[in-house]
Structure 1
Amino acid sequence: MAARPGPAPPSGLSPRLLVWMVLGEWRAQPGRTLAAILAIAVGVGLGLAIHLVNRSALDEFAGAIRSVSGAADLQVQAASPLGFDEGLYPVLARLDGVATASPVVELRARTASGEPLTLLGLAPLRAAAVTPNLVGGGAVSGDGGVTTAEAVFDLDAITLSPAALQQSGLRVGDQVRLSAAGQSASFRIVGNLDGVSGDRALGVIDIAAAQWRFDQLGRLQRLDLRLSPGVDRTAVERAVQAALPAEAALVTPQSEMRRTESLSRAYRVNLQMLALVALLTGGFLVYSAQSLSVTRRRPQFALLRVLGLPARGMLGQVLIEGVVLGLAGAALGVALGVALAELALRLLGGDLGGGYFRGGRPPLVFTPVAAAIIFGLGVAIAVLGSLFPALQAERIPAAVALKTGSGESAETAGQPLPWISLGLLAAGGLAALGPPVGGVPLFGYGAIALILAGGVGAMPWLARGLLGPLRRLRAPAPPVALAIARLWGAPRQAAVALCGIVASTSLMVAMAVMVTSFRGSVEDWLIQILPADIYMRLDPGLTLDSEAQARLAAAPEAAAIEFRQSFNLRLRPDRPPVQVSARGQASTGAGEGLPLVGRQIRPEGLPVWISEPMARLYDLSPGDPLALPIGPGAQAQVTVAGVWRDYSNQFGALILDQAAYTALTDDAGRAEAAITLAPGVEPEEAIEAFRVRLPPSIAPGADFAEPREIRAVALRIFDRSFAVTYALEAISILVGLAGVATTFSAQTLARRKEFGMLRHVGVRRGQIMQMLATEGALLGAVGALAGLTLGVIMSQVLIHVVNPQSFNWTMETRLPWPLLATLAVVLVATSAGAAVLAGRGAVADSAVCAVREDW
């Protein structure tokens, strides 16, 4: 007895027959299939790589925070580097529920050879109970032999982290000279901080030595609190908060990690969106490949219908083909993503050019859940790209499809109406008006997706609208007339060819316009913000006292010198600190020369000028009052006098008059200077003269630079920050161009019978090649025009919605005309060339063979 056939899958075909048909289609069109798989793989790989790099960097940073915070449940941090009164320490230590309080002096320091270092002053016994990782390992005696850990109580002793030892080239037992807060002192290295992970350069000395030797008497920068077991944590936090002065804030290690993660959230999300762009482009290529496959196989599908295959069988087969494409592409993409992440960590570290995790080379942390999600997204994109072609296959009328040449008329029946595309474009415009969600411009990204979908959906009507005037040309050459008639009469097939071009081109143009606008705005800003002839900056830990400032100002090479002091100030515990800069001369105000935007006022009280990001983050405008937690006692009450454009700090910056700063803080030290040279003085000559006038202990740590050098460095940093963006743009357009070639190849091969009929009526092979070249060039031109237009529209969403909501700054639109023109020419040439190359094989058959039926 014959065995019963196995159950048929949902497609209505047996598994064996289904596999045979799928593999047969892949063998028939290997180039198009490979392009679709690679497009999905690139999108999945980029998305996974970016996630893995960011996750690895965040995990490394979290480990560094844990190693420094130790067992501290709460931390009290100073709002500024000036610290807070140490009288707060006994007050908090005596609160109910506080088991141990560890006072900390924290300073930015540098070694004699110039390496930066974070210097902590600790009370060893207190720190051993709260942050044991910061109490060093083995100590050494004067002759290098190991002694007890009592050496950490020595006021001349210091323990260094492994990273600090490595970057300084020193060993345990060596002497190291440190400069911090304008003071210098020498210490003997007595051990290493094995518990401090990562690349953090850290040094620990006794708190008494830190306060005495670095002019910090009576001041602390941090208090680490360990709570008693079983206490009401919320009640203790309320009690601590009530006891805090304005110059201190309460945080937790967990909140610090969340705050640090939020610093790079917008940058990480933007990179993920760029990776998704490549994946979406892959989805359009899958749609194009599947649509062309369905068109080419219409007679085969019709025959299967006549032989009894239900309509859902057509739907199932095409969807299963999409699933297989997605599985192959996503699997390849996961492997590619892991390799790219490993390479990026080696070359760029965990930073990816954004400047959020500097200096680290964290190990790769693979997250299976994220990999599975991105894998599933790749498969889903491939299935969605196959859905519309599958629905088209399901609706194929068998009797009509069996007739040769019925392709376009049947395929246009189920085509979406124009108002759907118009509705998507309108919805995109409305979405662009939405606010950010959790600091991320989700509505902005949604607007870009809707505009892209609407633009791609409008391709059939747009193609007819742009090609319409060409139909009225008088007596065009026969190949040109045939090409125009073909594109005019088959708008949906033209749209299938255009969708990949338009998607990749528009997204690349949008990013290119945004980056060009951003870079141009930064260049203009740098010119306006750097009016002096020379700028001086001291290394961390160094300052010029009043005497050194006067000696430098008396130099005959200087016509004027504006001394400045900058530091970070925390206004809210849940927000990154803002950068405060004290500047201005007696003859000019602090706001002189700033690139102000909007109105400016003259307040009666103390004026300050805030940056655009600060105005957005803290909802401030000219005339609003602001309390600054600087200086001892109550907060300084100031008034916003104006808002200025700033691209150096996305979390806010504030400028106040340096005389007011000195009065508020009693800090006369300065670490920066803007120098205007006397007429006829050369910058090189002046720099040498200024360096001679600096104190010998400070001169090696002084960095002088001309504005052109600063601008060059800033633009290099800008380009490095966008290096990943440039790479993603290039990959996206390469995927799109590959899609152009495979799409034209598939369409041309599917038109063998049409070419055979043209040969029968007297059209020569050369004329058919001219017709194909004209079709390709016209489609490339339409795609370029549509892609450029759509890209410029989407760039406005990036410039005026995504960037302000992500990074809190604005810019002016600048179009990169040379790039846009080059892109248009490349698209037209690529399209024409791909059509001609594909047509060489399609017209090679004899005219009789080309028009014969297969049955």
Structure 2
Amino acid sequence: MLRQFPRIFLWHVVRHLQRHRLLAVLNVLSVALGVAVYLAIQIANHSASRSFAAGIDLVAGKAQLEVRGDVDETLWPLVAHQPGVKAVTGLVEGKITFPDWPGEYLQVLGVDLLTGEPFRTFDINQQGNSPPLEQWMGEGGQLAVQTEFARRHGLRIGDHLRVLVNSEIKNATVAAFLNSRDEAAAMPANFAVMDIGWAQELFGRQGHLSSLQFLLDDASQAKRVAAQLNQLLPPSLHAAPPRQRSYQIESMLSAFQLNLTALSMVSLLVGVFLVYNTISASVARRRVEIGILRSIGATRWEVRALFLGEAGAFGFLGVIAGMFGGVLLARVLTGAVAKTVTSLYVLLSIDRTWLDPWQFATAAFFGMATVIVGAWLPAGEAARVDPVQALSLGAHAEGAVTRMPRHAWFGLGVLLLALGSGWRALHGGSPAWSFAAAFFVLAAFALFAPMTTWFFGLLAARVRRAGVIWQLAAGHLRQSIHRNAVTVAALGAAIAMTIGLMVMIFSFRTSVDAWIHHGIVADLFIAPASNEVIGLEAAVPSAAIEWLRARPEVRAVDTFRELECSFARPDGKANTARLAVLQGEYRHNLSFVGGDDERKMARVFHDRCVAVTEPFARKFGVHGGDHLQLTTPRGPADFEVVGVYADYTRDEGQMLMARKNFEEWWNDPPVQSLAIYLQPGASADALTDAFRQRFSSEGEFAIYSNRSLRQRILSIFDQTFAVTYVLRTVAILVAIAGIFLSVTTLAAEREREIGTFRAVGASRAQVQGLLMTEAGMLGAIATALGLVSGLLLAMVLTWVVNPAFFGWTIHLRLPWSSLLATSPVDHPGRAARRVAPGLAREPCGHRYICSGGMIMRYLSFLLVLLSALQVSAADWRLALPGWRYEFPRDQHIHPDFKTEWWYFTGRLTDDQGNVFGYQVTFFRQGLRPPDAPSGTTSRFIVNDLKFAHFAISDVRGQQFHFQQKLSRGAFGEAGFSNGSRLAWIDDWSLELAPDGTFALRASNGPTTLQLHLQSAKPFAIQGENGVSQKADGPGHASHYFSATRLVTGGTLNIGGEAHTVQGESWLDREWASNQLTTNQVGWNWFSLQFDDNTELMLYQMRTRDGGLDPNSSGSYVASDGTVQYLRREDYQLTPTKWWTSKATQGRYPIAWQLTVPKLNLQCAISTPLEAQELVLNPVAYWEGLVDLQGSHESRSVHGHGYMELTGYAGVLVGLSEGAKR
């Protein structure tokens, strides 16, 4: 038989499915519904977790540690130099809403572009480039928004927005768009970025940060570095990996998500019953075929495999259909899940559904498991059929009757298991035991189904006056007990789930409604309107509170504040929860467990005490009289728990504290909402109108009366259970599908019997009546069984699941009107009315069963440096002719010019003759003119940007070392002054002694340089009439002088070796506001020192057409220090060798032939080290040491110098136009 098995399988299964297509479709749909609901819930849960995690990942970027909370910004420089810390950046977070787009919000991240670059996982893009720094850092309200958000609202660069922050309407500008650096990574549409300083100003967070992010030298040492940092941090802060926050949120959401998963599994459980019913019907209908197969040699395993294969075919098609349906259903559920999570836990926006292959694999596994489990017992029954008894259906039915008592006793045992599981869940066991209790309740009543069905049939048969049709239906009910019991169990489970959810939600809503009526006693409630979108973020203006308290019609004003607080439990374990802060007096609106409400609240207001909610007490094991150690900005504070009170606002629980105690330990005056109590006879509407008229210009407020707030809370409750309503609807649809399937299966099984009825004269109406009566009986039994089990399930959900997972006390209430209105008793009759007419017309009813109409009905359900160079001279002073140089004045800062630098280059040798070139440069890039309107208090909003370069050319080692530093100087770590310290960034510095000697320090890891430099010649003024012209037009110039020969000595540490060095250096000192034009793409610059004590400075400005700008020029410094100006035509430079960079593919002319006819000077310029390219993404240029050899005035000369080549590895945009003065 084994060889013939595939043929027999095709004959047994495929032909059967072809003949009974509607049965097949209904079974496929039953599996598909279960798979679709389960998969949709998994997708919605995963999307919620991934969306929140994506937001955390986007904020934290590549950070390996973070310090999160109310962070004093002065901690930044303190922790930045700790051992093991590679980089630190600060963040400011906040949320804004839009009065013109109700319900829309942005989660804004204030970043520091300079220190945050190594952390970022996104780019800030303005028309292909980073936004100009003077715009981004110098102007307020500059936002970079996600491209999807911009598309949704039709935004373009430069568009202005009205935003609502802390009840105030402010202005913002779309300055750039955000793009993820990783295409596979997610970026929420409601994510935006702005400069950290302006974010502090926008959100009123001056002096404070939301977090500090850390990169480490060695990520494996994160725990050690975190412990080290925690010793420096105040008690209210601690260092931890950023993902830990995601884990905390996932833990907080786990109970909610587990509930949804458990509910979705009920649909799969119902599918097990339906498949069991179908395969059982198939076995009963084909007992003769089974007997024949067994008699000709088919083994029991082969018979079992045939029926499991039939179920597997249903399962495979159902899984495929369910996956498509699950994705579609997930789009509906995801929005409901997001709203629920936002209402109860944390602000969440799910912009996309996250599809994980493992979700589909798990759904497929459960879908196939559903059909295998459902088909296993009937398939085993088929395998055990005795060939001799195969023709006796009565023997089969008799066997089902004899097993009824055993099933009933098993059912009682399972009920005891349900009782034990519930007790375990409420007394220290895992909350998952509560779900086990719910499952055992459903399983117990499924085992009661055979006995219940048999007794109902027995009782119905004794109703003699009901007629022949009634008697026949009652007889069939008992004769087909093996089939009808499974039908009743399946329908009862679906009905039980529907009723259980209905009763639990009604009880919960009733309890919440009673809590609202008892707890909400004020006449008016006022809060910033944005808090309805972004949670408790915005604060009520203090002026509004004072105005209300001064009104004669106002009797009292209570204030409310909520924040996150860390605390230590009585067992010493650290946790985090919400802390509610109340200012006012006890309004007899809290109900404590154990009573004595007034005394307990008096202690909260007058002693160092807190009260906690029921969920808090259960989650953390806290009771009245326990002590909690709260982490506050002023150190740990011990508070006694006076009692536990009922509250339904948060399932993770919260603590309640009086404002007096809060102000003693926290310096956090803002409040987020107000409760207004009016004098008797005062009009709430009149006060509302007066308030809006007075404060309409200061923002938008949500103002609720007592009644409207109650309605709003209940609407949020209904929104919270929107997902459950969807699942309940699916359960009802599963029940209807099950009834239809059951009636259809019974009718198909009795095709010959119905044909006999018609042959002996039964009318169509009689056949239809028989089927309708049987269906009605099945529906009545299933409804009764489902009602009882549903009520028990509701008790488990209300009294076990809710306390175990959430800690709420819910009083059981029965929604009698809803139970009667939604009772599915009449569904069997409806199903029978659809099936019976076709059977009554045709002796063999399979023609109707094969029709497609019913099938269709069921199917219908289913950047930094580049930015620094792109300057605008608007409102900055221009470099114009007539400048009179004064020293030492002009060696110091010129803050009214936009750009300036101190540029040192030189050639050094050590005692062994080793040659080194060096470059140390300090730059100042203006962001805001010194006379720009200020009004800002954030230390991160500065007038200029500081950055510096340090490079060493090691000729012997053929190595080039380079380091760049950038800083705002927010903490004084970088800056410029008019004192002896000219410029500095961290440990890099330039100092000027009274005798004119420069002291220069810089380092790059183990490479350090310390030099003293003394000018051997007077300063050389470059250009003519006080300016060095770089392009045509006024202001396209700089003020420029050079120290062309600085006698240099000091120390250089490189490669682990210390070198005493000496040599000669060159200083270029230059300041300007508007040097270059857009037609200029780069320059060639040379500072050359000859051994005859003369120097030469040359620069060539290159244009886009490949030519040289006429303003290219230079200067010759004679041995006595006199300066001779050189025009472009006075010298010729011809490249003789080119070098191509492997890093940038830039092609640089690194060797030149120089001719200056008027000086009788010819010189070859070469470099001892070709690879001296500085790569500063997105800018790269070549600058390094060069050697000279040639003749001057017919005498042989040698020398050295420095050469700078820009614009060869991409256009280097220069200092652009736009000056006003």
TM-score (norm 1): 0.86
| 2: CA distance, partners of 1:765 / 1:180 | 73
- C-alpha spacing 1:525/1:59, structure 2 compared with 1 (3 Å): same
SS of residue in 1 equivalent to 2:114: helix
Shift in Å, 1:554 = 1.9
| 2: CA distance, partners of 1:246 / 1:497 | 63
Aligned residues: 819
Tell me, yes or no, if the aligned pair for 2:626 and 2:641 is still in contact at 8 Å.
Answer: yes
Shift in Å, 1:626 = 1.6
| 2: CA distance, partners of 1:169 / 1:835 | 55
Larger radius of gyration, structure 1 or 2?
2
2:234 aligned partner: 245
2:733 aligned partner: 734
1:853 aligned partner: none
- C-alpha spacing 1:666/1:320, structure 2 compared with 1 (3 Å): closer
Structure 2 letter corresponding to 1:390: A
Matched, 1:324 2:325: no
Matched, 1:567 2:563: yes
1:431 aligned partner: 421
Matched, 1:94 2:96: no
2:117 aligned partner: 128
Q: What are the residue-to-residue correspondences of 1:715-730 with 2, within 5 Å?
A: 715-730=714-729
> RMSD of the TM alignment (CA)?
3.7
| 1: CA distance, partners of 2:523 / 2:116 | 48
Q: 1:408 aligns with which of 397, 405, 415?
A: 397
- C-alpha spacing 1:353/1:551, structure 2 compared with 1 (3 Å): closer
Tell me, yes or no, if the aligned pair for 1:609 and 1:654 is still in contact at 8 Å.
Answer: yes
Shift in Å, 1:727 = 2.0
Give the structure with the larger helix fraction: 1
- C-alpha spacing 1:691/1:459, structure 2 compared with 1 (3 Å): same
Q: 1:72 aligns with which of 59, 63, 72?
A: 63
2:524 aligned partner: 534
Structure 1 letter corresponding to 2:590: L
Give the structure with the larger strand fraction: 2
- C-alpha spacing 1:576/1:263, structure 2 compared with 1 (3 Å): farther
Tell me, yes or no, if the aligned pair for 2:34 and 2:267 is still in contact at 8 Å.
Answer: yes
SS of residue in 2 equivalent to 1:739: helix
1:4 aligned partner: none
Q: 2:450 aligns with which of 443, 450, 460?
A: 460
Structure 2 letter corresponding to 1:509: I
Matched, 1:394 2:383: yes
811-820 or 533-542: bigger deviation: 533-542
Matched, 1:160 2:144: yes
2:495 aligned partner: 505
Tell me, yes or no, if the aligned pair for 1:124 and 1:152 is still in contact at 8 Å.
Answer: no
Unaligned stretches of 5+ residues in structure 2: 181-185, 532-536, 845-1221
SS of residue in 1 equivalent to 2:16: helix
Q: What are the residue-to-residue correspondences of 1:242-641 with 2, within 5 Å?
A: 242-342=231-331, 355=343, 360-403=349-392, 406-412=395-401, 417-435=407-425, 441-473=431-463, 476-488=466-478, 490-538=480-528, 539=530, 543-544=539-540, 548-571=544-567, 578-585=577-584, 588-589=585-586, 592-600=588-596, 602=600, 605-630=607-632, 632-641=633-642
SS of residue in 2 equivalent to 1:648: coil
- C-alpha spacing 1:718/1:669, structure 2 compared with 1 (3 Å): closer
| 2: CA distance, partners of 1:188 / 1:830 | 60
SS of residue in 1 equivalent to 2:527: strand
Shift in Å, 1:640 = 1.6
Structure 2 letter corresponding to 1:452: L
2:133 aligned partner: 149
SS of residue in 2 equivalent to 1:408: helix
Shift in Å, 1:37 = 0.7
Tell me, yes or no, if the aligned pair for 1:597 and 1:643 is still in contact at 8 Å.
Answer: yes
1:648 aligned partner: 649
- C-alpha spacing 1:661/1:20, structure 2 compared with 1 (3 Å): same
Tell me, yes or no, if the aligned pair for 1:181 and 1:543 is still in contact at 8 Å.
Answer: yes
- C-alpha spacing 1:556/1:760, structure 2 compared with 1 (3 Å): same
Shift in Å, 1:384 = 1.1
| 2: CA distance, partners of 1:705 / 1:575 | 38
2:827 aligned partner: 830
1:223 aligned partner: 212
Structure 2 letter corresponding to 1:103: G
| 2: CA distance, partners of 1:623 / 1:342 | 48
Shift in Å, 1:751 = 3.1
SS of residue in 1 equivalent to 2:702: strand
SS of residue in 2 equivalent to 1:830: helix
- C-alpha spacing 1:671/1:757, structure 2 compared with 1 (3 Å): closer
SS of residue in 2 equivalent to 1:243: coil
SS of residue in 2 equivalent to 1:309: coil
Matched, 1:235 2:235: no
SS of residue in 1 equivalent to 2:320: helix
1:802 aligned partner: 801
| 2: CA distance, partners of 1:733 / 1:374 | 21
| 1: CA distance, partners of 2:428 / 2:172 | 47
Tell me, yes or no, if the aligned pair for 1:119 and 1:204 is still in contact at 8 Å.
Answer: yes
Shift in Å, 1:291 = 0.9
| 1: CA distance, partners of 2:786 / 2:37 | 23
663-672 or 114-123: bigger deviation: 114-123
| 2: CA distance, partners of 1:403 / 1:667 | 84
- C-alpha spacing 1:271/1:837, structure 2 compared with 1 (3 Å): same
Structure 2 letter corresponding to 1:597: V
SS of residue in 1 equivalent to 2:682: coil
Tell me, yes or no, if the aligned pair for 2:145 and 2:174 is still in contact at 8 Å.
Answer: no
Tell me, yes or no, if the aligned pair for 2:275 and 2:311 is still in contact at 8 Å.
Answer: yes
| 2: CA distance, partners of 1:758 / 1:151 | 90
Report Cα offsets for 1:561-589 as digits up to 9, x if no partner.
Answer: 2233333334489998533332242xx23
Structure 2 letter corresponding to 1:8: L
Tell me, yes or no, if the aligned pair for 1:160 and 1:193 is still in contact at 8 Å.
Answer: yes
2:847 aligned partner: none
- C-alpha spacing 1:270/1:215, structure 2 compared with 1 (3 Å): closer
Report Cα offsets for 1:420-459 as digits up to 9, x if no partner.
Answer: 2222222222222334999984222222222212211221
Shift in Å, 1:735 = 1.9
Unaligned stretches of 5+ residues in structure 1: 1-6, 848-855
2:1088 aligned partner: none
TM-score (norm 2): 0.61
Report Cα offsets for 1:4-34 as digits up to 9, x if no partner.
Answer: xxx726xxx5312211221232234322221
Tell me, yes or no, if the aligned pair for 2:32 and 2:325 is still in contact at 8 Å.
Answer: yes
Residue identity over aligned pairs, in percent, reads 27
2:776 aligned partner: 777
Report Cα offsets for 1:780-809 as digits up to 9, x if no partner.
Answer: 211111011011111222122222333342
Shift in Å, 1:494 = 2.6
- C-alpha spacing 1:116/1:579, structure 2 compared with 1 (3 Å): farther
Q: What are the residue-to-residue correspondences of 1:638-677 with 2, within 5 Å?
A: 638-677=639-678
Shift in Å, 1:747 = 1.7
Shift in Å, 1:243 = 2.9
Structure 2 letter corresponding to 1:232: Q
| 2: CA distance, partners of 1:599 / 1:248 | 37
Shift in Å, 1:354 = 6.3
| 1: CA distance, partners of 2:350 / 2:21 | 41
Tell me, yes or no, if the aligned pair for 2:421 and 2:437 is still in contact at 8 Å.
Answer: yes
Report Cα offsets for 1:340-368 as digits up to 9, x if no partner.
Answer: 335656x6685577656756353343322
- C-alpha spacing 1:110/1:568, structure 2 compared with 1 (3 Å): farther
- C-alpha spacing 1:701/1:385, structure 2 compared with 1 (3 Å): same
- C-alpha spacing 1:843/1:780, structure 2 compared with 1 (3 Å): same
| 2: CA distance, partners of 1:557 / 1:214 | 33
Structure 1 letter corresponding to 2:75: L
